[in-house]
């Protein structure tokens, strides 16, 4: 299975999950290293823009489109739907609780989750400490410029 991420050029080939370990993310609290990837490059662009700090919106930072192959036979857990009446901090807490439960159960190396931005599409959370991580490979890493019209 092919998945995508947009990364700072300095970290394009880094699959350690160190950024999420330090900062946390929607599906993990700080202290837990995971790798966030998207089902499509276009979804990775949207996710990047949604998380881009306001100070970086005037001059978009350079990015690298990283094409990653997850083994086809890797087992995958899934969150199929998000709670409909939750948003903000409540939803973040719910997602982190679900993500932490998945990580501690160590039932599968990948968690498929709906995108908050486009619920019909999926992001994937990869447990970077899983045995199958050795089989995850970068297929390409190419410079990618986000079109500034997306911010007008």
CB 63 within 8 A of CB 7: yes
Q: How confident is the model at residue 32 (pLDDT cuts 50, 70, 90)?
A: very high
- CA nearest to 92, candidates 6, 21, 24, 20: 24
Mean pLDDT value across residues 89-110: 91
pTM over 0.85: yes
Within a 10 A sphere around the Cβ of 4, how many other Cβ atoms?
Answer: 22
Residue 118 has a pLDDT of: 93
Residue 9's CB: how many other CB atoms inside 10 A? 13
**pLDDT tens-digit profile of 47-86?**
998 888 777 777 778 899 999 999 999 999 999 888 888 8
Local confidence band at 31 (pLDDT 50, 70, 90 cut-offs): very high
């Amino acid at each position: 299975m092919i998945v995508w991420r947009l990364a700072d050029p300095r970290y394009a080939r880094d699959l350690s999950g160190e950024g999420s370990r330090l900062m946390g993310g929607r599906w993990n609290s700080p202290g837990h290293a995971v790798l966030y990837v998207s089902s499509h490059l276009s979804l990775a662009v949207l996710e990047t823009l949604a998380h881009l700090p306001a100070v970086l919106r005037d001059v978009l930072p350079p990015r690298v489109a990283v094409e990653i192959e997850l083994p086809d036979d890797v087992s995958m857990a899934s969150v199929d739907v998000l709670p409909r009446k939750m948003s903000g901090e409540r939803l973040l807490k719910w997602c982190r609780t679900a993500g932490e439960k998945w990580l501690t159960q160590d039932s599968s190396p990948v968690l498929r989750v709906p995108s908050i931005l486009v619920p019909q599409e999926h992001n994937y959370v990869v447990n970077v400490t899983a045995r199958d991580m050795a089989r995850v490979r970068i297929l390409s890493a190419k410079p990618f410029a986000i079109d500034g019209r997306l911010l007008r």
